Structure 1
Amino acid sequence: MPRLSRAESQARTREQLIATAKELFLRDGYGPTSLDKVADAAGYSKGAVYSNFRNKDELCLAVLDDIHAEQAARIAEVITGSTTVEERLTRFQEWAERNIGDQAWTALEVEFAVNARRDERLRTELARRDKGIRDIIAGLVTANSTEFGLDLPLSSDDAATALLSLGIGLGIQRAIDPTIPVGVLTDVMRLVAGRAVSER
């Protein structure tokens, strides 16, 4: 087996640190998880962590980026292959039932956002990522409205802001009370798409 280059070795170390930190942050929370714990659990020195991340905040941003990319890929997979608006909404709702309100993920997002409130640089990083997510949603809204010839009652950007805000709020509520139905989100999507809301 060929020996890894320095860059490949560093990339592998970084991936392993992110995977380990993700497991610990989701299991134990942001506050209780120290860089020492991440290093120990991953089998590296603390120096290896600092050679890849300036601090715990930067490591957590990388973990959140990983989670967001994973969920975005799942949503794209849900949408791909669906040939009607209703089929896409149904499949999206199935994803939402499984993921919106996940206690570990929701708690990590909220804890980290609260942690960032006094750090302007960190708030800027979170705001940039939040805009990136809204842009992805706006792109999906635009693509679907074009594909199905939908006349939307608001801009794709505004629809993305409304849907993301509703999704985040619903996630927090469902993390507390999982019996809260997720269908309200897909019903709002139906309204935006000019479809009738289903009876529950």
Structure 2
Amino acid sequence: MARLTRAESQARTREQLVDTAKELFLRDGYSVTSLEKVADEAGYSKGAVYSNFRGKDELCLAVLDRIHDEQVNLVASALAGAEGMEGLLTAFQAWAERSIGDEAWTALEVEFATNARRDPHVRAELASRDKAIRDTIAGLLAGYAERFGITLPMPAGDAATALLSLGIGLGVQRAIDPAIPVHVLPDVIRLFAGGGASTKD
């Protein structure tokens, strides 16, 4: 087997650290998981962590990026075979049932965002990621509106903010009480599209 280059070795180390940190942050929480614990569990020294990340906050941002990328891929896969507006909403709801309100993921997002209020740099990083998500949602809404001949009741950017806010709030509520129905989210999209809500309770 060919020997890894320095860049390849560092990239593999970084990936292993993110994988380990993701597991520990989701299982134990952000605050109680130390960099020493992450390094030890991954089989590296603490210095290896600092050679790849400026600190625990930056490592957690990488973990959240990984989780968000995974969820985007799951949504894309769910929507890929869907046909028509109702098919897309049904596929989206199936993803939402599995993901929105995931206890570990929701707790990590809330805990990290709460801690971030004390650090302007981390707040700016989170705000940048939040904007990117809103922009992506806005682009999807505008694209689907054009595809299906729908006139949105508000600018796509505002609709994206409303849907993301609803999704986050719904995730927190479902983390507390999984019995809370997720269909309200696709129902709001139906309302935006000019259709009626579903008949589910």
User: For this structure pair, what is the TM-score category when the shorter chain's length is used for normalisation?
Assistant: over 0.9
Deviates more, 1:37-46 or 1:137-146: 137-146
Q: Which amino acid aligns with 1:94?
A: A
Q: Cα RMSD over matched residues?
A: 0.7
Letter in 2 for 1:45: S
2:48 counterpart of 1:67? no
Question: Residues of 2 paired with 1:136 and 1:71: CA distance?
Answer: 13
Note if 1:134 corresponds to 2:129. Answer: no
Identical amino acids, percent of aligned pairs: 69
Alpha-carbon distance between aligned partners in 1 of 2:90 and 2:141, rounded to the nearest angstrom: 16
How many angstroms apart in 2 are the aligned matches of 1:81 and 1:154?
A: 28
Q: In structure 1, the residue corresponding to 2:117 is in which secondary structure? A: helix
TM-score by length of 2: 0.98
What residue in structure 2 maps to residue 100 of structure 1? 100
Q: Please list every run of 5 or more consecutive structure 1 residues that lacks an aligned counterpart in the other structure.
A: none
**Once the two structures are superposed, what CA deviation does each residue of 1:151-187 show, in whole Å capped at 9, x if it has no partner?**
1111110111000000000000000000000011110
| Amino acid paired to 1:32 | V
1:66-105: CA deviation from partner (whole Å, max 9, x where unpaired): 0011101111112212120000101100100110000000
Aligned to 1:91: 91
For normalisation by structure 1, the TM-score amounts to 0.98
1:155 is matched with: 155
Q: Which amino acid aligns with 1:85?
A: M
The secondary structure found in structure 2 opposite 1:118 is: coil
Q: Could you report, residue by residue, the CA deviation over 1:125-156 in whole angstroms, capped at 9, with x for unpaired residues? A: 10000001101111111111111111111111
Equivalent AA in structure 2 for residue 136 of structure 1: T
Deviates more, 1:70-79 or 1:33-42: 70-79
Query: Which residue type is aligned with residue 112 of structure 1?
Result: F
Counterpart of 1:198 in structure 2 is: 198
Corresponding residue of 2:183: 183
Alignment partners' CA distance in 1, 2:75 and 2:52: 30
Alpha-carbon separation, structure 2, partners of 1:146 and 1:41: 49
Residue matched to 2:42: 42
- Cα distance between partner residues in 2 of 1:82 and 1:182: 19
Residues 1:80 and 2:80 are matched in the alignment: yes
Count of aligned pairs? 200
Structure 1 stretches (4+) deviating beyond 2 angstroms? none
Q: Within the alignment, does 1:20 sit opposite 2:17 as a pair?
A: no
Counterpart code for 1:158: D
